[in-house]
Every structure is written in structure tokens, then in C-alpha cells.
Amino acid sequence: MDIPETGMEKRKRTICVFCGSSSGSDPRFAQSARLLGQLIARHGFSLVFGGGGLGLMGEVARAARDGGAAVTGILPEFLRHLEPPLAHGEQVVIVPDLFVRKHRMVAMANAFVLLPGGMGTLDEFFEVVTSAQLAVHAKPVVLVNVAGYYDPLLALLKHTIAMGFARAENANLYSIANSAEEAMDIVIAALHLPQAP
């Protein structure tokens, strides 16, 4: 059952960022992660993410934290030592496995933004898009196509439609941004929020 939001809850929205626990081979990936974190804070959002302080995850979380955003990391127990959380300024929620982690992140989020990442990030993308397709949620999903990183994925998604395994309207379940700024504009518009000054 949906519970009506109070004024405070309406103002404080949470963006879930899915991205790599590595930095990748292009410095533009980390630059975009830092900028996205800064913009999340500047626009008054909270951040929920995978909890680790490494790679792009760490970049976006530190930038959001340093900008004053509330940061919550959802970290499976078995990854605590492989992907240690930030040293400070992060609320860490320890969960038993990856499935619970993803469920918690999805439940906490008002919107999803995906930076470059590996298999886990792709899994998270398909989870939230498939859930949207099945009307489990109607939250915006934005792929940040930094330096064309997601071009092969977008080609594959078009291919699934061309081959009859997905409907053409499925392409409306996610948006494509070429920068962190564009991603934030899409999220703000989708949530019908005013732009920050």
C-alpha cells in the first residue's frame, strides 16, 4: 500500500546509483562519477549505492557525501573486506547477499542512474528495467553513456526489439544521457521537481 508522503518526504528524494567497483580504463568514467555525486548533493537528493568505497562507487559516494548528501551503502556481508565502505560519512547497511542488497536499493530509490560498470551493473540495469516493464515500479531509469560506453548495450536492446523478443515501447522504460548533468535533468523532470538554483 502506498503511504502519502509528508512535505519533508516529498522534498527528500533518493537516487540509487549503480556503477562499477572498479574505475575502468577511461578517466572520464571517474570524472563523471564525481560530478554525479556533486550534483546529487547540490540538488538535495540522498544517495543509495552498493556500499563499497572503491572504483566508481567510491567516487560518486565521496562526492555526494562531501557535498552534504546523506549516503547509504548496502553491502553484502561477504563483500565487507573486498569492497570496504567509506571511512566515514556513510550509513552502511549489511545484508546477507547480493539479492537482498539489490532489493533494498530498489526499495529505497526514487530513481536509478547507471554509470559504467561490469556484470553486476548490467544485472542491476536489467533488474530495474524488467521490473518497470512488469509494472512493479514506475521509477525513472537513466543510463549515463559516458564516452559511448553503453553503445553496445543499446545496440543489443534495439536488436531484441528487431528480433521480436521485446516490444518497441520497452525502449521508453529507460532514458539515455550523455553526461551526469543531463542525467540529473532527466531525473528531476521525471520526478516533477524544481531545478535547484
Mean pLDDT of 174-195: 95
Range of the domain at 89: 11-190
- Asked if the structure places residue 74 within a domain, the reply is yes
- Asked if the structure places residue 106 within a domain, the reply is yes
Grid-cell match 560519512, residue found: 89
- Asked if the structure places residue 3 within a domain, the reply is no
pLDDT exceeds 50 at position 187: yes
**Residue 52 to residue 92: CA distance in whole angstroms:** 9
- Asked if the structure places residue 1 within a domain, the reply is no
Sheet with 14-18: strands ordered across: 91-95, 71-76, 46-49, 14-18, 111-114, 141-144, 175-177
- pLDDT class of 196 with cuts at 50, 70, 90: low
Tally of domains in the chain? 1
- Asked if the structure places residue 180 within a domain, the reply is yes
Beta bridge partners of 48: 16, 72
- Asked if the structure places residue 197 within a domain, the reply is no
- pLDDT class of 197 with cuts at 50, 70, 90: low
pLDDT exceeds 60 at position 169: yes
Taking all residues of the chain, what is their mean pLDDT, rounded to a whole number?
92
- Asked if the structure places residue 73 within a domain, the reply is yes
- pLDDT class of 123 with cuts at 50, 70, 90: very high
pLDDT exceeds 60 at position 30: yes
pLDDT exceeds 60 at position 8: no
Nearest residue to 29 (alpha-carbon basis) of 115, 148, 89, 137: 115
- Asked if the structure places residue 109 within a domain, the reply is yes
CATH of the domain at 102: 3.40.50.450
SS (H, E, C) 11-70: HCCEEEEECCCCCCCCHHHHHHHHHHHHHHHHCCCEEEECCCCCHHHHHHHHHHHHCCCC
